[in-house]
Amino acid sequence: MYATASDVYEGAERVVSCPICGNTGGRFQSLGYYVKCPSCRGATRAEAVPQDELDAYWQGEDFWSRDEIEKRKHRAPVFREAARILSRVKPIPGALLDIGCGIGTFLAICRDEGWNVAGVDPSPIACRVAEEEYGIEITNDLFSSEFFADRKFDAVFAAQVLHHLPDPEAFLSDVVRVVAEDGILVLRTPNLVPQEWMLRLQRLLGRRERFFCGPTLQVFHPDTLRLLLGRQGFDDVSFVIARPFLEPLRGRAAIPNLRRLLYAGLKVAVYAGTKALFHVSRGRINLGPSLIVVARRKAPPAQGAEEEAGARGRHLREIVGNTLSLGFLKSLAYSFAYYVHEQVAWRARIHAEEGIRIHATASIRYAENVYVGRNSHINHNCCVWAGQRSRVRLGRDVLMGPGVCLFAANHGSRKGSPMMWQERREADIFIGDDVWLGANSVVTAGTRIANGVIVAAGAVVTKDVTEEDAIVGGIPARVIASRKGG
Ligand SMILES: [Zn+2]
């Protein structure tokens, strides 16, 4: 799986399989004891480290020496900085898991801020110290989602873990199982970008394992992490430049303190420059010594939204499919013919005096039998249907509300013949001058309406209205009042 260091270092840059992204093509570049993948831009140790050696390192007593434990306690500001980054992306504390939590310093800080905390660490010593020092019970093992099968965490933290793992992708795919929807994952791992030349130098100087704490199996480029996290369904991946840890002055000895002071000054200068460059390049140039990644897990689309998206896709396919069919052309021709019949043809045949208005949505049949007097209005959605042998005659100044129907032909009702083929009974409709037909009123064949009549909205007029200026309403319509009285 791995190229050996000598294979790579002798200048024979060989194609190997990248344990980070699986890529096998292109030229793997030598970076001292590491090889850099041309695809994911991550660097992998050229020589594999056996798993039992790794286990011995992390679980043995050497790593968590008394000195190391004391050092961690003093490094509380580093963890407070991490807690600050966490609270910026998750302002409301929920459930937090720290993977590789060590002696639990970060967990203790977060617990004080209201988080419900859990931790896992392979070192029995670290777990014991966490319980003694902070009263936090840690799961003592390498991380597995099985330990937290019935739990989901709003935030999962894994600082200085990923680069120690033989298979970082397998680790992330297991971690994602315990991250709640819309939960976040925060990783901290060395940044290959500023360390690339250091790695080359390391080999030349014959030094091993001095640049990173613990056996480092890979070093990641920001692009590597974007790729790995994207594959696991983290859609929102961003990087943070963290404030450096400045060691406080201690004791009275001048030289060590001067050294601490110079070192702190250098760190602040590097931090300021890195942060400015990161900002100006809109996050494209990240020279921070560590990559701090904040990734948010995609919330699955709501079921309704998914159905809606599915329906939209179906409709679109339906539209495209039908547009390309012969039926569509036929239907287009029918619609066109109908439009000509309803909106164009009659205009040449209708008998109209000046000043009339007919709305575009009105329907006129047998226009040669339709007579419209001066200043009369036919409104939205009105049907003025004369028959083959029957006329509709509107007087002058007739006002029609929307949806008025005048039917000068009627189907018969004889039993034994389909409605379609019933004999039509045709009879003229005469509307007098100055008549107002209210919205949605209906006038049936053979009906005459006298001058000045008002037909109430929704009425159905089936018999002649002979009384001038009458107000009629209802079904069938009858006289309810007179304009003369009002
Ligand atoms: Zn790769």
Which alpha helices (DSSP H) does 182-323 contain, by range? 192-204, 222-231, 254-280, 303-323
CATH number for the segment(s) 352-482: 2.160.10.10
- CB-based contact 215:164 (threshold 8 Å): yes
Neighbouring residues of 90: CB distance < 8 A, sequence distance ≥ 6: 154, 155, 184
Distance from the alpha carbon of residue 189 to the mean position of ligand 1, in angstroms:
17
- Which amino acid, residue 247? E
Distance from the alpha carbon of residue 228 to the mean position of ligand 1, in angstroms:
10
Query: 3-state DSSP helix/strand/coil percent for the chain, to nearest 5?
Result: 35, 25, 40
Which alpha helices (DSSP H) does 60-208 contain, by range? 66-74, 76-89, 105-112, 124-134, 168-175, 192-204
Distance from the alpha carbon of residue 184 to the mean position of ligand 1, in angstroms:
24
Distance from the alpha carbon of residue 46 to the mean position of ligand 1, in angstroms:
13
Longest dimension (CA), the chain: 122
- Which amino acid, residue 252? R
Distance from the alpha carbon of residue 164 to the mean position of ligand 1, in angstroms:
16
Distance from the alpha carbon of residue 163 to the mean position of ligand 1, in angstroms:
14
Distance from the alpha carbon of residue 162 to the mean position of ligand 1, in angstroms:
15
Identify the pLDDT of residue 3.
Answer: 39
Neighbouring residues of 277: CB distance < 8 A, sequence distance ≥ 6: 285, 287
CA dihedral 39, 99, 109, 58 (to 10 degrees): -100
Q: How many CB atoms lie within 10 A of CB 231?
A: 13
- Which amino acid, residue 347? R
Distance from the alpha carbon of residue 56 to the mean position of ligand 1, in angstroms:
27
Instruction: Look at residues 365, 192, 413 and name the one whose alpha carbon lies nearest to residue 287.
Output: 192
Identify the pLDDT of residue 424.
Answer: 80
pLDDT at 81 over 50: yes
- Between the alpha carbon of residue 33 and those of residues 1, 51, 58, 287, 288, the distances in Å are 15, 18, 21, 21, 22
Distance from the alpha carbon of residue 156 to the mean position of ligand 1, in angstroms:
24
**CA within 13 Å, CB half, 226:** 12
Distance from the alpha carbon of residue 41 to the mean position of ligand 1, in angstroms:
6
Distance from the alpha carbon of residue 27 to the mean position of ligand 1, in angstroms:
11
Distance from the alpha carbon of residue 235 to the mean position of ligand 1, in angstroms:
20
Give the pairing type, strands 179-190 and 153-159: parallel
Neighbouring residues of 262: CB distance < 8 A, sequence distance ≥ 6: none
Instruction: Look at residues 386, 367, 376 and name the one whose alpha carbon lies nearest to residue 427.
Output: 386
Distance from the alpha carbon of residue 13 to the mean position of ligand 1, in angstroms:
15
Tell me: the pLDDT tens digits for 296-311? 987 766 666 667 777 7
Q: How confident is the model at residue 38 (pLDDT cuts 50, 70, 90)?
A: confident
- Asked if residue 122 has a cis previous peptide bond (ω within 30° of 0), the answer is no
Domain ranges of the chain: 49-297, 304-338, 352-482
CA dihedral 362, 366, 368, 369 (to 10 degrees): -100
pLDDT at 15 over 60: no
Q: How confident is the model at residue 4 (pLDDT cuts 50, 70, 90)?
A: very low
Distance from the alpha carbon of residue 176 to the mean position of ligand 1, in angstroms:
20
Identify the pLDDT of residue 304.
Answer: 63
Instruction: Look at residues 146, 132, 145, 80 and name the one whose alpha carbon lies nearest to residue 103.
Output: 132
Q: How confident is the model at residue 72 (pLDDT cuts 50, 70, 90)?
A: confident
- DSSP character string of 37-86: -TTT--EEESS---HHHHHHHHHSTTTT-HHHHHHHHHTHHHHHHHHHHH
Residue 351 tokens, joined? 């008998």
Identify the pLDDT of residue 13.
Answer: 44
Tell me: the pLDDT tens digits for 251-287? 788 888 898 899 899 989 999 999 999 999 888 899 9
Distance from the alpha carbon of residue 275 to the mean position of ligand 1, in angstroms:
27
**% of the chain surpassing 70 pLDDT:** 93
Distance CA 344, CA 326 (A): 26
Query: Would the CATH topology of 49-297 be identical to that of 352-482?
Result: no
Distance from the alpha carbon of residue 165 to the mean position of ligand 1, in angstroms:
15
Tell me: the pLDDT tens digits for 323-343? 888 888 888 898 888 878 777
Q: Where is mean pLDDT largest: 68-72, 149-153, 414-418?
A: 149-153
Q: How many CB atoms lie within 10 A of CB 285?
A: 13
Gyration radius of the chain's alpha carbons: 43
Identify the pLDDT of residue 331.
Answer: 87
Q: Which CATH architecture has domain 49-297?
A: 3-Layer(aba) Sandwich (3.40)
Tell me: the pLDDT tens digits for 199-239? 888 777 776 555 556 778 889 999 999 999 999 988 889 99
Distance from the alpha carbon of residue 22 to the mean position of ligand 1, in angstroms:
6
**3-class secondary structure for 255-291?**
HHHHHHHHHHHHHHHHHHHHHHHHHHCCCCCCCCCEE
Distance CA 232, CA 374 (A): 76
Tell me: the pLDDT tens digits for 222-231? 999 999 999 9
Q: What does the DSSP 8-state code read for residue 344? A: I
Distance from the alpha carbon of residue 42 to the mean position of ligand 1, in angstroms:
6
Identify the pLDDT of residue 128.
Answer: 92
